[in-house]
């Protein structure tokens, strides 16, 4: 079965690739290992020079790379170009900071000299998703390469051209052949790659079932794994909040990337007297979003990445409505389809939707809605808001809007999440660690923590 790139706006096939054979996979792993034996000896200053060149390459090609992402997975072109710029940022960040992050860490012991030295592990496997086809990869690859590891990329099968382009960026920047390699393989081929003794660890961003499968294989072979999985992030708004700012941020937080982001705000939890105004403001903001061809500069919302994602989201919304929820705006695929140009009617488009008055027991309680659908809940007080926010199995990010200092402290301490943003939408930043708890995964990407995930913190004792 081929690995196929399909334009989600039109359903047209762009390109098809044959998966690597077992022999070709063996050659790639062997090359990655041979390269590591030499690459690990390069000075961090040399790696930094190459990483800066990678950032320059991204910046120079941002228009073409952005268009490639839009064609393969459907995000608006302006968002895709911004993603490339963010990738350049993370490359420059690690190019500039890694020497400090990797510096020997002194320890006071009974030795004449003792310290911790941070050394690379070897060949790493990265299993990456389609929703941020460049960012997810670069935020994993930049620290891994700066630490002296080499990397094999198994990208999502619907973005093969992005995967190929990423390898080219690192190659053109001067990294040694084999330092970063794209493996065009299917999901069934991941297990034997991870089982290979030369592959030392794995990082995965994706779904819960995919994470569980990869983590199980890694555990079986006693290898470290890092998982960044799904989320059902709460967005809590209290009576003291800046309501205008909260509504504007809520729209962005839910609709960014066509609503297909693990850290998108998905459950909007409203406390007290602001509920009516917030619901109406959010519905009004969703109603004016333009849905259409993501290559058009004035389009706000493009298609979902695959027909399967569209079908699942539509069914989740229909189930909620059948159980008594109310659609303040959107919720009907047929109405949207009739409004689209003929060439887009085979695309995976879903209307921006706000569901309110959601009764208990619907999919909104525990499931992640991966698309432009906001779920609105009303609660009586902060205690109830925190309880509802923590009621899911996920724990990736959380946003809380309040100007009350005591409430802020409660949200920081009591919301079960890997990140809490007060009066701001949840986002990833190269300077801060990123990751979740509970079913949202474990380990941290980005910041110093992200670089140290895949190193050997070696104890050195000298007398």
Residues annotated as catalytic are: 228, 262
Detail the DSSP E strand segments found in 186-284. Answer: 199-205, 224-228, 233-237, 265-271
Residue 116: helix, strand or coil by DSSP?
strand
How big is the CA angle at 280 (ends 279 and 284), to the nearest 5 degrees? 120
DSSP string, 72-89: HH---HHHHHHHHHHHHH
Q: Which two tokens stand for residue 103?
A: 């510096």
DSSP string, 361-421: TSGGGT----SSEEEEEEESSHHHHHHHHTTSSEESEEEEE---HHHHHHHHHHS-SSEEE
Side-chain half-sphere exposure of 99, counting CA atoms within 13 A: 12
Question: Considering only CA atoms, which of 157, 216, 209 is closest in space to residue 17?
Answer: 157
Q: What sign does the dihedral 94-98-100-105 (CA atoms) show?
A: positive
Residue listed under structure tokens 């998966």: 19
Tell me how far apart the alpha carbons of residues 115 and 180 are, in angstroms, rounded to a whole number. Answer: 30
Q: Which residues pair with 353 in a beta bridge?
A: 373
Which are the contacts of 434, defined by CB distance < 8 A and separation ≥ 6?
139, 228, 418, 419, 428, 444, 445, 446, 447, 450
Which helix (H) or strand (E) segment is 58 a member of? helix 44-60
């Amino acid at each position: 079965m081929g690995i196929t790139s399909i334009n989600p706006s039109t359903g047209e096939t762009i390109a098809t690739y044959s998966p690597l054979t077992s022999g070709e996979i063996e050659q790639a792993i062997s090359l990655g290992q041979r390269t590591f034996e030499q690459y690990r000896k390069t000075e961090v200053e040399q790696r930094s020079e190459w990483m800066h060149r990678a950032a320059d390459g991204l910046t120079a090609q941002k228009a073409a790379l952005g268009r490639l992402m839009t064609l393969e997975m459907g995000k608006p072109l302006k968002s895709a170009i911004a993603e490339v710029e963010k990738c350049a940022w993370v490359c420059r960040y690690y190019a500039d900071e890694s020497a400090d992050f990797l510096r020997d860490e002194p320890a006071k012991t009974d030795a004449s000299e003792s310290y911790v030295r941070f050394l690379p592990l070897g060949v790493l496997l990265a299993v990456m998703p389609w929703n941020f086809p460049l960012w997810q990869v670069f935020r994993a690859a930049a620290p891994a390469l700066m630490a002296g590891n080499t990397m094999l990329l198994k990208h999502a099968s619907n973005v093969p051209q992005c995967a190929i382009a990423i390898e080219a960026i690192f190659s053109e920047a001067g990294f040694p052949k084999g330092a970063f390699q794209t493996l065009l393989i299917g999901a069934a081929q991941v297990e034997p790659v991870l089982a290979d003794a030369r592959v030392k660890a794995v990082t995965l961003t994706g779904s819960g079932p995919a994470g569980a499968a990869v983590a199980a294989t890694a555990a079986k072979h006693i290898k470290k794994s890092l998982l960044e999985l799904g989320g059902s992030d709460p967005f809590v708004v209290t009576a003291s909040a800046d309501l205008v700012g909260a509504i504007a941020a809520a729209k962005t937080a839910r609709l960014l990337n066509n609503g297909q982001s693990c850290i998108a705000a998905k459950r909007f939890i409203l406390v007290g007297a602001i509920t009516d105004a917030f619901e109406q403001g959010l519905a009004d903001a969703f109603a004016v979003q333009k849905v259409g061809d993501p290559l058009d500069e004035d389009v706000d919302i493009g298609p979902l990445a695959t027909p399967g994602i569209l079908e699942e989201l539509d069914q989740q919304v229909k189930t909620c409505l059948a159980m008594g929820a109310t659609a303040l705006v959107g919720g009907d695929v047929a109405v949207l389809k009739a409004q689209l140009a003929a060439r887009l009617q085979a695309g995976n488009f879903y209307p921006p939707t706000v569901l309110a008055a959601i009764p208990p027991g619907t999919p909104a309680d525990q499931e992640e809605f991966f698309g432009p659908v906001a779920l609105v809940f009303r609660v009586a007080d902060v205690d109830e808001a925190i309880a509802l926010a923590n009621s899911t199995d996920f724990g990736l990010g959380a946003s809380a809007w309040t100007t009350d200092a005591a409430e802020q402290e409660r949200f920081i301490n009591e919301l079960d999440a890997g990140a809490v943003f007060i009066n701001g939408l949840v986002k990833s930043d190269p300077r801060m660690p990123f990751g979740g708890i509970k079913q949202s995964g474990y380990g941290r990407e980005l910041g110093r923590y992200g670089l140290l995930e895949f190193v050997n913190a070696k104890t050195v004792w000298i007398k």
